[in-house]
Amino acid sequence: MPNRSTPGPPSLPALFLSFLTIGSTSFGGGLLGWIRRELVERRAWIDDTQFLVYYGLSQMVPGATNVNLSVIIGSQLRGVAGALMAVAGLLLIPLVILLSLGAVYFAASELPASHLINAALVGAGAAAIGFNIATGLRLGQRNLRRIGPLLVAGVIIVGIGILGFPLLEVVVVMVPISLAVTLVERAA
């Protein structure tokens, strides 16, 4: 559902250009943060609550989470055409860059300086992890203001991050608990 604070849904070209910008400026990962910044903070097409709902749904269906997220947001804003525009915009530049860099990487893998390429890729991965942590903290500050969601988030972090339980098992257990906590808090 589009954000009520905007006069109407974005045009298809605006949706394509926003996702093209997101896809072409997110180097080394951190795409989730860029999507949120562009669509929630900059464009105000959706709000944080909608973003979190769409993100949760995008993680529950098979496929790449960020591609799923672009399909969900695009379809909520402009239907099937919006989903197609969002995915096309998100993937166009990265696909061209990936194919080009992949060809160069495999051609240069025998060169003596190939370790520099590997070091650059490791650095980009570290930057992406930092950006994802920053996005998580920002979303947590704005949306985890009650004890129930804080406890649920804490259990998930401990279960997956510290105890090493498989993601699927944690999700199967915590989704019903999270829903129950939300229903109890809303009823209170």
Supply the pLDDT for residue 7: 56
In the predicted structure, residue 3 carries a pLDDT above the cut 60: no
- Of 127 and 7, more confident: 127
Residue whose structure tokens are 């061209």:
96
Considering only 3-7, 75-79, 162-166, which range has the smallest mean pLDDT?
Answer: 3-7
Considering only 24-38, 52-66, 71-85, which range has the smallest mean pLDDT?
Answer: 24-38
Model pTM above 0.75: no
Q: For residue 118, what are the CA distances in angstroms to 6, 107, 127?
A: 44, 14, 14
Band of residue 121 on the pLDDT scale cut at 50, 70, 90: confident
Supply the pLDDT for residue 118: 76
Structure tokens at 188: 């209170």
Residues near 72 by beta carbon (within 8 Å), at least 6 away in sequence: 54, 57, 58, 83
Supply the pLDDT for residue 4: 46
In the predicted structure, residue 2 carries a pLDDT above the cut 50: no
Q: How far apart are CA 118 and CA 149, in angstroms?
A: 39
Band of residue 29 on the pLDDT scale cut at 50, 70, 90: low
In the predicted structure, residue 153 carries a pLDDT above the cut 60: yes
φ and ψ at residue 50, rounded to 5 degrees:
-60, -45
